[in-house]
Structure 1
Amino acid sequence: MARPRSFDRDAALEQAMRAFWAQGYEQTSISDLTRAMGIAPPSLYAAFGDKRRLFDEAVARYQSDAGAPVRQGLAADTARGAVERMLRVAATEYTRDDTPQGCFILSEPLLGDERARSDGALRDRLQRGVDAGELPAGTDVATLAAFYGSVLNGMSARARDGAGVDELRNVAELALRAWPTAVP
């Protein structure tokens, strides 16, 4: 008969997410994880399977909680509102004192598929903006999405290097000045 779990799985997952976010998948050892989670290796394996499955759960948790900039941005009523919200939320979220700095998805090399999905969602939102007349006809949606994705990536990197919320807000404001307008 298996013994009942003697730890809070959800709290342990939160700590694993933070360890992966701060150090990256490759640099985070099982020892790092068990220390952060406050459990022994057998408990980690029993509850989560292996390091990769734990990582996958940690990524899903991040996306449902801390991965707010893209999700919140895409919910805006207009294409410009989506980008504006994305950048402003990122400035705040990437510099929080109670989490690792920057964006887990943007900084983790293993998450290229997740970044591609976010990029595609941003392109789709911008295309809807063109279709609705919010952006000039003929706007190069792929390049515009790449530009704002690059701004987010840069904001994440700056936050990981210690930039504060005011700097990132200024970057966001400057990036918003590049928003395409109709040519008279």
Structure 2
Amino acid sequence: MGLFWRRGYEGTSMADLTAALGITRASLYAAFGNKEGLFQRVMDRYEAKAGGYRTAAEQAATSLEAVRLWLTGPVALHGDKQNPPGCLGVQGALACGVESDTIRSDLASRRQRGEAAIRRRLQRAAKDHDLPGDDDPADLARYLSALIYGMAVLAAGGTRRGELQGVADVALHHWPKAPRSRKQRNKSS
């Protein structure tokens, strides 16, 4: 995972992989089919581990808490000096040539599934009157996805954790406020 994360899909050679895994090329092919198969397994593991904040956000009680998790998750992930800079999915996709179109397509599908999950959660929030009625959940989902992946690109370029947190803070400050419930309005009257 670390090799692909640091070097991207195409920047990681079979020699790099066999050396890191301590296996022969034949063993790698027997276990994973090919480099592409190994990368997809690595991405599955990465998403399960690094993307845990996404699952928590989908299950959050309020849309504001979900948004907070979607924005602070990347700060924690990319601000952790134990991890290579940036996002494995973004790093893997940025340097793919024509011969790696299947990888580029797989990574695009993964990003689309992530955005769709955000959209579904925000649609639920809109239905529950946890978002203002005039905000489109699909637009907000695209906005959050752009922020999440943008923070990954910033981190890959050396942006520090505190600076990433600043991006999250600004976005949270400007996040649409849910309308107050009738009960809340009556308490303040």
Q: Normalising by the residue count of structure 1, what TM-score does the alignment of the two structures yield?
A: 0.84
**In 1, Cα distance between equivalents of 2:161 and 2:6:** 18
The question of whether the paired residues in 1 share the 8 Å contact of 2:115 and 2:142 is answered with yes
Counterpart of 2:155 (choices 153, 159, 177) is 159
Residues of 2 paired with 1:19 and 1:168: CA distance?
24
Q: CA offset at residue 183 of structure 1?
A: 7.9
Q: What is the correspondence of 1:1-184 to structure 2 with a 5 Å cutoff?
A: 17-109=1-93, 110=104, 111-181=107-177
Higher relative contact order (CA 8 A, sep 6+): 2
Check whether the contact 1:102–1:159 (CA below 8 A) recurs between aligned residues: yes
Percent identical: 38
Aligned length: 168
| Matched residue, 2:100 | none
Amino acid at match of 1:158: L
Structure with bigger helix share is 2
Shift of residue 72, structure 1, vs aligned partner: 2.5
Tell me, in whole angstroms, the C-alpha distance in 1 between the residues paired with 2:120 and 2:75: 23
Q: CA RMSD in A?
A: 1.8
Q: Deviations over 1:61-119 (max 9, x none)?
A: 11111222322322211111111011112101112222212222233322000000000
> Which moves more between the two structures, 107-116 or 63-72?
63-72
Contact persistence 1:95–1:102 (CA under 8 A): no
2:99 matched to which residue of 1? none
Q: Is the 8 A contact 2:10 2:92 kept in 1?
A: no
Counterpart amino acid of residue 64 in structure 1 = A
Whole-angstrom distance in 2 between the partners of 1:55 and 1:105? 10
Deviations 1:32-73 (A, max 9, x none): 111222322222222222111111111111111122232232
Give the aligned partner of residue 186 of structure 2.
none
For 2:135, give the aligned amino acid: T
